[in-house]
Structure 1
Amino acid sequence: MSGSRGGAPTRRRVVAALAGVPLAAAAAPAAVARPAGARTVFLAGDSTAAQKDAEAAPETGWGMALPFFLHRGVEVANHAVNGRSSKSFLDEGRLTPVLDAIRPGDLLLIQFGHNDAKSADPARYTEPWSSYQDRLRQYVAGARERGARPVLATSVERRRFDTAGNATSTHGDYPAAMRDLAAREAVSLLDLQAASLALWQRLGLEETKKYFNWTATEQDNTHFNPLGAIEVARLAARALHDHDVLRPRELRRLDDAVPESWITWPQAA
């Protein structure tokens, strides 16, 4: 899908839920009166999707780039927070302001799994086929009770290759458990794990370094730089299109270049 414009977007369409920013304040813009037919994509997730501040640059969450692929009338309320699992996000009360702000016709996009696997941390750990699915059901039910549409997204893959140069999965049973839950609960699924794994395989061992937060002082194979965030957001937008979650007229630039310079990092509050 084409239709890109020559300059950066004329308005920012991200409602950030930065660490340290009161959640009620982060969610407040979604409660403002909006035009008929407009809707919001609420994003609940972890650091791979979260808004980053200037101190973290060039680290970039893919949720920061998602608005570039959405037309006006579709807002993004990014409530993803570094280090959270499906359990800790709930236990900290972070779903509450999302559900307070969400409206009929909105989407709740749910991506957890990276931190659910941390078995040494009882505040975050969930077991894939039991407590992980149980937590995800709470997000799904909360959205549906408010007339919104839940959308599950498997965790985007890390950059890991085997000795033969093949991109490998790092998330154990969590993607399979989410796929199973999506099928049984009739929830739309964005399989970002499979899509990103295929992308890393196509790019290869060395080229993928350009997509992750590799700097002179850091070799981060989990978090993205602007290029990586843009391309993962493109995967998410294409999946939203392919699964008829968003209408074609609500999407743009699916096949167009998006300048890395469009990514900005606000100062920490």
Structure 2
Amino acid sequence: MRSDWQGGPRRIFLAGDSAAVTREASKAPMTGWGQVLHFFLSSQEVEIVNCARAGASARTFSERGRLDWILRHIRPGDYLFTSFGINDAKPEEWLRTEAYGDFPHHLRKFVDGARERNAHPVLISPPERDTHDVHGNMPRSITEYPMAMRDLAAECSVPYIDLYGQSHSWWEGLGPEGVRPFFIHLEPQEHPNYPEGFHDPGHMTPQGAIACARYVAYALVEQRIVPPHWAINLDRADFPPEWVTWLDEETHAELTKSRTLGSN
């Protein structure tokens, strides 16, 4: 796709859940892959507008007016990256969607809404959690949702990035101990935000988020979703810790409140 827009950088709007969200400082070191995606895409070519919301499913993101906000602001030639499935699989009735029921129905709203505005939809499955059991096996947690997303992408001729499959292979290959640095495993007094310690196999550290963001950027180039010259740092081994930043509480609250046309 050519980058011939003359009104400034193209924009990538990111709709997703806590795996992709830009975290506030009080949640550090939790990091979403959308929070560090700019490490791999030139700011001269593209601006990332991360609208992902912790706790969102494809259903609630749409119902609460967050998709409407994106569609009001998106321009021809922009991109809409959509990544859901983790919360859609949860049992709460108000949150849940069925993988081969209303989940693809809600995803279609993102695809159709972008296309109606001459923007480019891209579907991205969410990363796998650290699901290792006591025997060192790693079962898949949301198999049907990435499959349903892949099938919808094929049906609608939409680019699909299988972050779920790739991350599952990574985490499984690393094993229970090797994958620990990619997820939140904090001992007491190890981090000021969690003085009593905190273990969360569902949310990533900067290391995990960077790995996922790098893969998304690689796939964007490999599938020719974006021009190759947009990509930067794809082969860079390490990033200075200070490059990873979190939003201050006021800014995070304001963005959460403002990026919706709904009542919540």
Q: With structure 1 as the length reference, what TM-score do the two structures score?
A: 0.84
**1:260 corresponds to which of 235, 238, 241:** 241
* C-alpha distance in structure 1 between counterparts of 2:85 and 2:25, whole Å: 26
Q: Are residues 1:156 and 2:137 paired?
A: no
Deviation of the 1:261 alpha carbon: 2.5
Structure 2 residue identity aligned to 1:101: H
SS of 1:49's partner is coil
* C-alpha distance in structure 2 between counterparts of 1:58 and 1:163, whole Å: 26
Q: Are residues 1:98 and 2:66 paired?
A: no
In 2 relative to 1, CA 37–266 (structure 1 residues): closer, same or farther, beyond 3 Å? closer
Matches within 5 A, 1:178-189: 178-189=149-160
Give the corresponding residue for 1:114.
86
Deviations 1:9-50 (A, max 9, x none): xxxxxxxxxxxxxxxxxxxxxxxxx85462011100000110
How many corresponding residue pairs? Answer: 235
Structure 2 residue identity aligned to 1:94: R
**2:177 corresponds to which of 206, 224, 228:** 206
* C-alpha distance in structure 2 between counterparts of 1:38 and 1:65, whole Å: 18
Matches within 5 A, 1:99-248: 99-119=71-91, 121-162=92-133, 165-216=136-187, 217-248=197-228
Give the corresponding residue for 2:51.
79
**Which stretch shifts more, 251-260 or 143-152?**
251-260
SS of 2:141's partner is coil
Deviation of the 1:202 alpha carbon: 2.5
Q: Does the 8 A contact of 1:227 with 1:260 survive in 2?
A: no
**1:50 corresponds to which of 1, 5, 21:** 21
Deviations 1:112-161 (A, max 9, x none): 00100112x22211011110000000110000000001000112100112
SS of 2:110's partner is helix
* C-alpha distance in structure 1 between counterparts of 2:73 and 2:130, whole Å: 35
Deviation of the 1:167 alpha carbon: 3.1
Q: List runs of 5+ in structure 1 lacking aligned partners.
A: 1-33
Identity fraction in percent: 42
* C-alpha distance in structure 1 between counterparts of 2:173 and 2:221, whole Å: 22
Q: Structure 1 residue runs of 4+, over 4 Å off?
A: 34-37
* C-alpha distance in structure 2 between counterparts of 1:231 and 1:105, whole Å: 27
